[in-house]
Amino acid sequence: MVIGMTDIINELREITRNLLDRAQKSYQRRMIVLLGKNAKEYAIAVIQEALFYFRNVLGKEPRAWFFSDDPEWPIGPITPMKEATKALGTTADIMLLDFRGGFFPNDLGRLGGVVQGGGLYVLVGDHPNEWRLKKYHEKILAYPYKLEDMDNYFMERFIRKLYDHKGITIVVDGEIIKRDTLKGKRKKNKEIKIPKNSERVFNKKFYKKCLTQDQVNALNMLEKVFKDESKIQIMIADRGRGKSSVLGIFLAAYIHHSKRKVRVVLTAPHPENVLEVFRFAKEMLEEHGHKVRTVKNNDGLIISIECSKGSISYYKPLQASSKRGDIFVVDEAASLQVPMLMKILKKAPKVVYSSTIHGYEGAGRGFSIRFMGNLKEKGLKFDIIEMHEPIRYSNDDPVERFLFDVLLLDAEPEEVDVQDLNKLELYIPPKHEFVKNEKLLREYFSIFVLAHYRNNPNDLALLLDTPNHYPAMLLYDGKVVCSMQISIEGDALEIAEDMLRGEKINGHMIPDRMVKYYRYKEFAKFKGIRVVRIAVHPKNMNRGIGSKALRMIEERFKNDVDWIGSGFGATHRLLNFWIKNGYKPIHMAPVRNEVSGEYSVIVIKPLKSYVREYVETACNEFIIRVFESLEDTYRDLEIPIIRLLAKVHTLKWRARFTSKQKERAWAYAFGPLTYEVARDIARELTLTYFLDSDRRVELSGREEKILIMKVLQCWPVNDIARYFRLSPTTILIEIKDIMKKLVSAYEEVKV
């Protein structure tokens, strides 16, 4: 018997009421997934019933977000999916996610924490047999693939997880395929104990804003920063535990109780990460009688608040690292690399780092291992604040468990201790097997998490669904110790003209740079492998495992590809790793990444003789470009990186002087002339020193640094003197002494 739509809708209305009843009692969330035929009509009925429930049963106006790229929904204001970030920092009772035609996995990660306990997610999608990540696939599609060539492993796993997890009801073509029977435990209201007057500085009103004992304890611990008892505080927790809100309360209390005007520098990867911080800080300052002025960016997000007693200003991490402030707060610190975190620390009189352990925002366990280890190595004292109790929903929330599982937000590696590198095995699993081997998938991905990669759900979909991306790993006793993501690039001569014209090219990063910047159109025909990511199990680092992995990949593919390369944010350690493994740098981005603060570098290693000349020439040209740009584009490039780059080329540089310049060179080095009237001489000799690979003059590390600072990067001599703790006169004398060595060494300066 065919059940009519009216009967189905009536049943869905009853299911919605029952789900919300149980959700309210347990303070858990629930999810209804409506797929296939008439999914929109069924979703309208579910949402209308949910709205009715909140208004008429609970007697409150529900807060709702309705996300869809279809504006024709008779339920309330519709927000396009591309504006998903608008919901960050807000709390909702009902959320519609219209995922018909696919979605961006990041949106699921972003929005999965917005609905509070007792609330409902309504997902709408295509029939399970036809549901694909079309919208995301369209963005990442690369030559020569068409949309139909993209795999669908992410969605297949996503659908499988919908069936696996409790708290989720699934309706396909009007048939209820899976019913949620989870009752959930009745939520018990825990008593919150506020510290006595003698145990706190901030007034009681600030503490009463806290919703959990964890938040109260965190605020009390943060008082140590206000009292100058602690300079570094690190707050770690899972998503939804109220880190950002307690930071906002803390900053408002700090400003309110301070005897002088306070400047707070607030940073995070993106302004939307700190919406809650601003919201709570503003609210609490206003509750204490302060008139607060706000500044918003072009997207309508708050980036600054100010009152008579102080200000809180948001900056991108790179900007923040050069600002002055009384206290720095780094939210979502796990999304930043350790060098940037340390750079901010150098600038900050006091600093609070907040980090998500598991979640879309970052990889907190990697943050803990690397950053805290760094602080300990430097002998720096810090306090750790941990928060466990969820703010928005119960501890056993089924929707959170589903999201953590499907997006691998809580992936953990196995314990493994590599004793013998010769026992390492390279394994490149077929994707259809990989995606079904949950244990291997989680182990593999967890290595990236712990290695402090800025992971996000889109990365998982890119790996699983793009035909030219593959997982590769080293196994030791069957356990993953090194994870790699590789992609096949090149073999793309048909789009070489597009590269020459500077058009945006997906999926061929290294050929694109070789063609665009070195005009090697024919390089596009060569096939290569880009190592998208490589990471080693944190307990097995510095044992040569990463280098071993590269050698094994090179050996495996030496007959199939012409080159192998990578692109990454340049630190001295990382660049040195690639160079010592035989890779040549051929490009560096002209601006630093706003979040990591690093210049992105591309390296290549030729695997075939006919590619070697292209790479050698490109590397040499790149080195010339960098050294010629050190007083402009790369004026702030780190000196250890510059010195490293000087050692990788095969240039045979010759200084060019007029006869009068030669005379002046000798008069400067051995006579009365000063640096100011011989700068052209000093620059030409310095470039010759760094760019001539076959005539090496013996200079010390300090002498090389002084040349880079003064002659190439044009530091003021007083800054160089401060750096070396010497007088400016001593620095100028040292430069003159260096010039004596160079003038004496190079034939082209002889008079």
CB–CB of 471/463 below 8 Å?
yes
Contacts of 626 (CB under 8 A, 6+ apart): 588, 634, 637, 642, 645
Structure tokens at 623: 């080195």
The yes-or-no verdict on residue 454 having pLDDT over 80 is: no
Quick one: average pLDDT of 695-721? 96
The pLDDT of residue 750 is 85
Nearest to 97 by CA among 119, 68, 133, 117: 68
Smallest Cα–Cα separation from 489: which of 590, 563, 546, 569?
Answer: 563
Supply the angle between the helices 213-226 and 243-257 in degrees, to the nearest 10. Answer: 40
User: Quick count: other Cβ atoms within 10 Å of Cβ 70?
Assistant: 12
State how far Cα 8 lies from the chain centre. 44
pLDDT band per the 50, 70, 90 thresholds, residue 746: very high
Query: Side-chain half-sphere of 420: how many Cα atoms within 13 Å?
Result: 4
- When pLDDT is averaged across residues 602-625 and rounded to a whole number, the result is 98
Torsion of CA 501, 505, 508, 509, to 10 degrees: 80
Sequence spans of domains, the chain: 5-178, 197-387, 421-632, 659-749
Distance between CA 620 and CA 615 in Å, rounded? 9
**Who wins on pLDDT, 492 or 593?**
492
Strand arrangement, sheet containing 425-427: 425-427, 469-476, 479-490, 527-536, 563-569, 600-606, 584-588
Task: Please report the pLDDT score of residue 120 as a whole number.
Answer: 98
CATH fold of 659-749 reads Arc Repressor Mutant, subunit A (1.10.10)
Question: What CATH number should be reported for the domain whose range is 197-387?
Answer: 3.40.50.300
Signed CA dihedral, 326, 331, 333, 336: sign only: negative
Q: What is the pLDDT of residue 362?
A: 44
Q: Cis ω on the peptide bond leading into residue 716 (within 30° of 0)?
A: no
pLDDT at residue number 556: 98
Name the phi and psi angles at 172, rounded to 5.
-120, 125
Residues 6+ apart with CB under 8 A from 157: 406, 435, 464
Beta-strand pair 527-536/563-569: parallel
Count other C-beta atoms under 10 Å from residue 663's C-beta.
15
Laid out side by side, the sheet with 64-67 consists of 64-67, 92-98, 115-125, 30-35, 168-172, 175-178
Q: Which residue has the tokens 């959990």?
A: 212
- Going by C-alpha positions, the residue among 142, 173, 155, 131 that lies closest to residue 37 is 173
Q: How many CB atoms lie within 10 A of CB 294?
A: 11
**What local confidence, expressed as pLDDT, does residue 235 receive?**
92
> pTM score, two decimals?
0.87
CB contact at 8 A, 651 and 691: yes
453: phi then psi, degrees, rounded to nearest 5: -70, 145
At residue 185, the pLDDT reads 76
Work out whether strand 232-237 and strand 351-356 pair parallel, antiparallel, or are unpaired. Answer: parallel
Residue 233's beta-bridge partner residues? Answer: 352, 383
> How far apart (Å, rounded) are the C-alpha atoms in residues 31 and 647?
58
Per-residue confidence (pLDDT) for residue 363, from 0 to 100: 47
Contact 168, 19 (CB under 8 A): no
pLDDT exceeds 70 at position 116: yes
- Residue 66's SS3 state is strand
Backbone angles phi, psi at 395, to 5 degrees: -65, -30
Q: pLDDT per residue over 617-643, tens digit each?
A: 999 999 999 999 999 999 999 999 999
Q: Do domains 5-178 and 197-387 have the same CATH topology?
A: yes
Q: How many other CB atoms are found less than 10 A from the CB of residue 212? A: 18
Residue 31 confidence class, pLDDT cut points 50, 70, 90: very high
pLDDT at 545 over 60: yes
Residue 247: closest CA among 229, 260, 228, 234: 234
Instruction: With CA atoms as reference, report the closest residue to 746 among 703, 684, 700.
Output: 684
Rounded distance between C-alpha atoms, residue 164 and residue 178, angstroms? 10
Percent of the chain residues topping a pLDDT of 90: 80
Task: Enter the CATH code of domain 5-178.
Answer: 3.40.50.11040
Mean of per-residue pLDDT scores for the chain:
93
**Confidence (pLDDT) at 439:** 95
What token pair was written down for 319? 């900007």
The predicted structure's pLDDT at residue 368: 66
CATH of 421-632, picked from 3.40.50.2300, 3.40.630.30, 3.90.950.10, 2.60.120.890, is 3.40.630.30
Distance CA 69, CA 76 (A): 14
CA distance 563 to 172: 48
Edge-to-edge strand list for the sheet holding 293-296: 293-296, 302-307, 310-315, 262-267, 327-330, 351-356, 232-237, 383-387
Does residue 392 have a pLDDT over 90? no
The answer on pLDDT for 505 being more than 90 is yes
Cβ–Cβ < 8 Å for 9, 159: no
Q: Look at residue 44 in the predicted model and tell me its pLDDT.
A: 98
Mean pLDDT within 44-50: 98
C-alpha to C-alpha distance for 48 and 66, rounded to whole angstroms: 12
**pLDDT at residue number 367:** 67
Q: Tell me which of 40-44, 369-373, 526-530 is least confident.
A: 369-373
Say which residue the tokens 């919605």 belong to.
16
pLDDT value at 565 more than 80: yes
Name beta bridge partners: 266.
314, 329
